[in-house]
């Protein structure tokens, strides 16, 4: 069976839960926003196209602007034709789905609106089959998460003791530090059972991320090597080629550490470093991810200072496009000390990984757009080749490309024909070339999992809090530094020289992405 197989009778790739979606009413809060138009509704369309949604499935868009059902459907249809990752749109599929899409006008902080929403749900034409099987999607600004959860509970739409499943999807950010994350978790859990809260991180919906568990634990040739005896270090990179692009108001508060490190990078980190779970059920896998974060000791400031880099992009060009310096971006403080690049070195204090550094980096306005994990193995003894080889034997490496062009490649030493020297060569696996089946986008996979109550690919409350514990250490250190400027890096580079020195002082270097010539 192909990894990309989405037959509704087949189990999810990681979990044993069934994929068949029951009749459901999905309510999208923030329904006129960008996320709904670009990701959520196109995902529902592709699920319908792949026959993963039942006939009795309804979508209600909740937003404050006055709008009729037909106006809302037409707006979504226009967006679908623009943003769908398969073209052209199958109009027959869309027309059938859109007939079950409705609009509801209300304010997110108005408790009475939620009571009217409850009546709207009971009065849907599909309600006889749906019953009270509801999914609520908070595609709103984070400051509304708590209000929405409390108002849903007050209207009788949250988790109930009688076993009725009312599920809640929450988009990141899950707080802005440990304290706010704990407060948000308490608020959400006062309304919904933890098993009904789905904190969505779209990185976990990517096939290559899911395949990490299969790659590690279903292949006897890799798992025996996945430890301190054979691995020298691990690099995890999430590189963005764009600048803040109009998000200066949000980004100048969040920075790279809150925007990317706390969620995306730590998700990749934990899946790479986790121990074999007891089973493939959601809680077993999430238990092991949390153990990784708990095994990272809270770093002392003097130690963290040596293992941390932050920087901002200066002006420059990426391709033919001019990018202003970060401090010159719209809605950014001209004296801002917010980082657009962060690199940090962590160690996992357990038996498997003792002494193996994990280097994490992320940044904006970089030379290429990619996400990958690089496993760098220890250098083999070179005494056998010392007399004849003119170059040092290279370290083997394993490159796991998350995006774009999902792939896995292995570098190994091979003799150069006619010469007494070695050269690194590649063995490559590509999803697109190996599987002909439809490859779902992340939101499609995650929506199906939420609809059937499968939580493996969603972040649990304790994992969120452990990640914030570490990110707070960075911000506590930075808050005590008396500086006026940050190191700058050129747009179109791979970051500041300080990030290179972070590895070079240990005798290592960042692996260059394939998009960049050596």
Q: Give the three-state DSSP class for 289.
A: helix
Q: Does the active-site annotation cover 264? A: yes
Query: How far does CA 51 lie from the centroid of its chain?
Result: 26
- Tell me the DSSP string of 121-177: HHTSTTHHHHTT-EEEEE-S-GGGHHHHHHHHHHTT-S--TT---EEEEEESP--SS
62 in Cβ contact with 106 (< 8 Å): yes
In b/e form, how buried is each residue of 130-153, taking b as 16+ CB within 10 angstroms?
A: bebbbbbbbbbebebbbbbbbbbb
Q: Point out which residues pair with 426 in neighbouring strands.
A: 411
Q: Measuring CA to CA, which residue among 378, 434, 441, 438 is closest to residue 404?
A: 441
Task: Phi first, then psi: give them for residue 219, nearest 5 degrees.
Answer: -130, 115
Instruction: Report the SS3 class of residue 13.
Output: coil
306's CB contacts (< 8 A; 6+ apart) are: none
**Among candidates 157, 113, 170, 124, which has minimal Cα distance to 23?**
124
d(CA 345, CA 352): 17
Neighbour-count burial for 245-258, b at 16+ CB within 10 Å, e otherwise: eebbeebbebbbbb
Element (H, E) at 506: none
Phi and psi dihedrals of 27, rounded to 5?
-105, 120
Annotated catalytic residue: which of 37, 264, 475, 509?
264
State phi, psi for 139 to the nearest 5 degrees. Answer: -95, 55
Cβ count near 459 (within 10 Å): 25
Contact 419, 449 (CB under 8 A): no
DSSP track, 432-494: HHH--S----HHHHHHHHHHHT--TTSB-HHHHHHHHHHHHHHHHHHHT---S---EE-TTBS
Q: Which residues are catalytic?
A: 264
């Amino acid at each position: 069976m192909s990894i990309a197989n989405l037959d509704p009778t087949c189990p999810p790739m990681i979990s044993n839960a069934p994929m068949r979606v029951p009749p459901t009413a999905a309510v999208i809060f923030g329904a006129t926003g960008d996320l709904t138009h670009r990701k959520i509704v196109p995902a529902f369309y592709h699920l319908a196209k792949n026959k993963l949604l039942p006939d009795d499935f309804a979508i209600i868009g909740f937003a404050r602007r006055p709008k009729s059902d037909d106006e809302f459907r037409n707006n979504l249809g226009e967006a679908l034709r623009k943003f769908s990752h398969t073209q052209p749109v199958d109009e027959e599929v869309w027309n059938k789905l859109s007939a079950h899409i409705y609009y509801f006008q209300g304010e997110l902080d108005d408790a009475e609106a939620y009571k009217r929403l409850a009546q709207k749900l009971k009065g849907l034409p599909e309600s006889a089959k749906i019953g009270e099987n509801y999914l609520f999607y908070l595609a709103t600004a984070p400051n509304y998460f708590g209000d929405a959860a409390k108002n849903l509970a007050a209207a009788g739409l949250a988790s109930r003791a009688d076993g009725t499943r009312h599920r809640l999807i929450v988009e990141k950010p899950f707080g802005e530090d440990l304290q706010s994350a704990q407060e948000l978790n308490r608020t959400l859990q006062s309304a919904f059972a933890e098993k009904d809260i789905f904190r969505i991180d779209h990185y976990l919906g990517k096939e290559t991320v899911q395949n990490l568990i299969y790659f590690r634990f279903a292949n006897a040739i890799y798992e025996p090597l996945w430890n301190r005896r054979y691995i020298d270090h691990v690099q995890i990179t999430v590189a963005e080629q764009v600048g803040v692009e109009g998000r200066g108001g949000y980004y100048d508060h969040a920075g790279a550490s809150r925007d990317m490190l706390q969620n995306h990078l730590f998700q990749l980190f934990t899946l790479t470093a986790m121990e074999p779970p007891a089973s493939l059920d959601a809680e077993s896998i999430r238990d092991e991810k949390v153990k990784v974060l708990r095994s990272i000791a809270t770093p002392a400031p003097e130690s963290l200072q040596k293992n941390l880099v932050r920087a901002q992009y200066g002006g420059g060009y990426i391709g033919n496009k001019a990018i202003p310096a970060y401090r010159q971006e719209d809605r950014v403080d001209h004296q801002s000390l917010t980082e657009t690049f962060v690199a940090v070195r962590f160690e996992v204090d357990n038996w498997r990984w003792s002494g193996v550094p994990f280097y994490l980096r992320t940044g904006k306005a970089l030379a290429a757009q990619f996400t990958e994990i690089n496993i760098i193995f220890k250098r083999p003894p070179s005494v056998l080749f010392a007399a004849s080889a003119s170059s040092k034997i290279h370290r083997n490496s394993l490159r796991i490309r998350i995006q774009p062009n999902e792939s896995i490649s292995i570098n190994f030493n091979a003799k150069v024909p006619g010469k007494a020297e070695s050269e690194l060569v590649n063995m490559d696996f590509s999803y697109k070339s190996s599987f002909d089946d439809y490859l779902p986008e992340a939101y499609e996979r995650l929506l199906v999992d939420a609809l059937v109550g499968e939580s493996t690919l969603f972040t649990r409350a304790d994992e969120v809090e452990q990640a914030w514990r570490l990110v707070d250490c960075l911000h506590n250190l930075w808050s005590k530094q008396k500086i006026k400027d940050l190191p700058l890096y050129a747009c179109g580079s791979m970051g500041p020289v300080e990030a290179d020195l972070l590895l070079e002082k240990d005798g290592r270097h960042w692996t260059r992405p394939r998009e960049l010539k050596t």
